[in-house]
Amino acid sequence: MTFPFVLLDDSTDLIIGHCKDIVGLDGTLINLDEGYHQIILKHFVFSYEFQQYILQKKEPLSRYAYVGMLNKDDHTIGYYGFFIHDMTMYHKLGFPTLAANLKLNVSIYRLISAQELQIWDQWRTSLPSALNQWATYDENGRRAWLSVVKSHNNMNIATEIVEKTNDIKEDQTKTFQMDGTYVTSYASFFCALGEAMNGPGGYYGSDFNSFIDCTYGGFGAITPFTLKWANHRVARSYLDISTWHREIDWMRAENERLGEEDFEVEIGNRPLYEAIIENLERQGITVILQ
17 vs 155 pLDDT, higher one = 17
Number of domains in the chain: 2
Q: What whole-number distance in Å separates Cα of residue 185 and Cα of residue 250?
A: 12
Where are any strands of DSSP class E within 20-62?
A: 21-23, 30-31, 36-46
Q: What whole-number distance in Å separates Cα of residue 214 and Cα of residue 191?
A: 14
- The whole-number pLDDT of residue 161 equals 41
CB 25 within 8 A of CB 92: no
Considering the chain, what percentage of its residues have pLDDT values greater than 70?
Answer: 89
Q: What are phi and psi of 171, to 5 degrees?
A: -65, -25
Q: What are phi and psi of 63, to 5 degrees?
A: 180, 165
pTM over 0.85, yes/no: yes
Q: What whole-number distance in Å separates Cα of residue 72 and Cα of residue 58?
A: 34
Residue 101 shares a structural domain with residue 200: no
Residue 143 shares a structural domain with residue 84: no
Question: Does 120 reside within a domain?
Answer: no
Residue 279 shares a structural domain with residue 203: yes
Question: Does 164 reside within a domain?
Answer: yes
- What is the pLDDT confidence band of residue 168, given thresholds at 50, 70 and 90? very low
- The whole-number pLDDT of residue 115 equals 92
Q: Tell me the Cα Rg of the chain.
A: 21
Give the sign of the dihedral formed by CA 47, CA 65, CA 123, CA 156: negative
Residue 54: give the domain boundaries.
5-112
Model confidence pLDDT, tens digit, residues 227-264: 999 999 999 999 999 998 888 888 888 777 766 666 66
Reply yes or no: is the peptide bond before residue 60 cis, omega within 30 of 0: no
Model confidence pLDDT, tens digit, residues 10-34: 999 999 999 999 999 988 888 877 8
